[in-house]
Amino acid sequence: MHGAGNATTIYPLTFEPVFRDYIWGGRRLETLLGRPLPPGIVAESWDISGHPDSPTRVATGHWKGRTLPEVMAALGADLVGSHSSEMLARGRFPLLIKLLDANQDLSVQVHPDDAYAARHERGEIGKSEMWYVLHADPGYTLVHGVKPGVTRRQLRQAIASDRVDEVLSRVPVSPGDTIDVPAGTVHALLAGAVVAEIQQNSDVTYRLYDWARVGSDGKSRPLHIDRALDVIDFSRAATGPVPPQNLTETDALRRQLLVRRPQFTTERLIMAPGATFSGRCDGSTFEIWGCVEGACRVTWAGTPVDLAAVQFVLLPAALGAFAVSAEGPSTLLRIYI
């Protein structure tokens, strides 16, 4: 599939978010981040989504009102780039960008890798992800892995005897931390955090334990213990927050590597007022930029796009030269394949 882009159809894409109301959510996407929310519980905001369950619609310009899968079908490689040819052939946008409000503990869960999901989930893709912590209550910890030496048998016994907490590794995190959650990692966001989640475009989740709670229908949510135990990587030690690696540093701009893997790379840019990063989408990959603190402006050959915290923009692979300028002290995430 080849792209059919031109100056009218290739431009930075912003989207109308889609909200999800899982039982563990709250209202902090509104109270902390200023998002207008529908009434009731809001657990997740899917900000850039090509997932068939909740695709996001373009907010402005030529593609306004069209879903991300529709734009991808029309633009092809001009949208996603040559590095995502396999996902393009599947008709699936590679990544999914969410905000999560953990007002209660999330279930203890694990995601499969691509190979396991292809075999056991009707050809679905796996789910590696990362969290960037936007807010964490004082003293906050989350579940990241199992304790060193815990075996599959010990974990199964702990689940059966309701002692799961004794074998889980808890790590403290603070705002600005990055938690890497590759497929096969046991994990749970616990009550008291708001995070941005960058993940493969998959919703395959195996729930190990749900704190003995019931849903709004009065029933326990289903567990997937056998499949979870199949995919857990017991050799991977929990490492806690990822130490950022400095890539470039000037007085005005510090660029850091947070996560690099085949599925996606995420950088953080810490920018002084007026600082500018110049880039180019050369056809190899799209870029997603997220303003997580402050405010910035994305300029290219057309109308500039202004982002405030917390907002994301998708730059098509065929966009060409662009620049990102900080309006005040700002922190940005840059995501690409």
For the chain, which domains are there? 15-231 (2.60.120.10), 245-336 (2.60.120.10)
Distance CA 200, CA 129 (A): 6
- Per residue in 157-176, pLDDT (tens digit) is 999 999 998 999 999 999 99
In a 13 Å sphere around the CA of 220, the CA atoms on its Cβ side amount to 11
Over 80: is that where the pLDDT of 215 sits? no
Angle at the Cα of 105 from the Cα atoms of 143 and 53, rounded to 5 degrees: 100
Question: Looking at residue 225, what is its pLDDT?
Answer: 92
Region 134-153: mean pLDDT is 95
Catalytic residue flag (residue 207)? yes
Region 269-277: mean pLDDT is 97
Question: Looking at residue 4, what is its pLDDT?
Answer: 55
Over 80: is that where the pLDDT of 211 sits? yes
Distance CA 279, CA 276 (A): 10
Confidence band of 116 (pLDDT split at 50, 70, 90): very high
Over 50: is that where the pLDDT of 1 sits? no
Distance CA 293, CA 150 (A): 39
- Per residue in 218-243, pLDDT (tens digit) is 888 889 999 999 999 998 877 789 99
Distance CA 153, CA 191 (A): 28
Distance CA 337, CA 84 (A): 7
Query: Collapsing DSSP states into helix, strand and coil, what is residue 118?
Result: helix
Question: Looking at residue 91, what is its pLDDT?
Answer: 93
Query: Collapsing DSSP states into helix, strand and coil, what is residue 40?
Result: coil
The encoded tokens of residue 168 equal 């889980």
Which is the catalytic residue, given 28, 35, 207, 254?
A: 207
Percent of the chain residues topping a pLDDT of 90: 89
Q: Within 10 Å of residue 225's Cβ, how many Cβ atoms?
A: 15
Instruction: Determine contact, residues 211/148, Cβ cutoff 8 Å.
Output: no
Region 285-313: mean pLDDT is 96
Q: Within 10 Å of residue 21's Cβ, how many Cβ atoms?
A: 13
Residues 96, 102, 103, 106, CA torsion sign: positive
pTM value is: 0.95
Question: Looking at residue 218, what is its pLDDT?
Answer: 81
Residues 156, 160, 163, 164, CA torsion sign: positive
State the chain's mean pLDDT as an integer.
94
In the chain, DSSP finds a helix count (H) and a strand count (E) of 7, 23
- Per residue in 10-35, pLDDT (tens digit) is 999 999 999 999 889 999 999 999 99
Question: Looking at residue 5, what is its pLDDT?
Answer: 61
Over 90: is that where the pLDDT of 89 sits? yes
Distance CA 50, CA 57 (A): 9
Region 248-270: mean pLDDT is 97
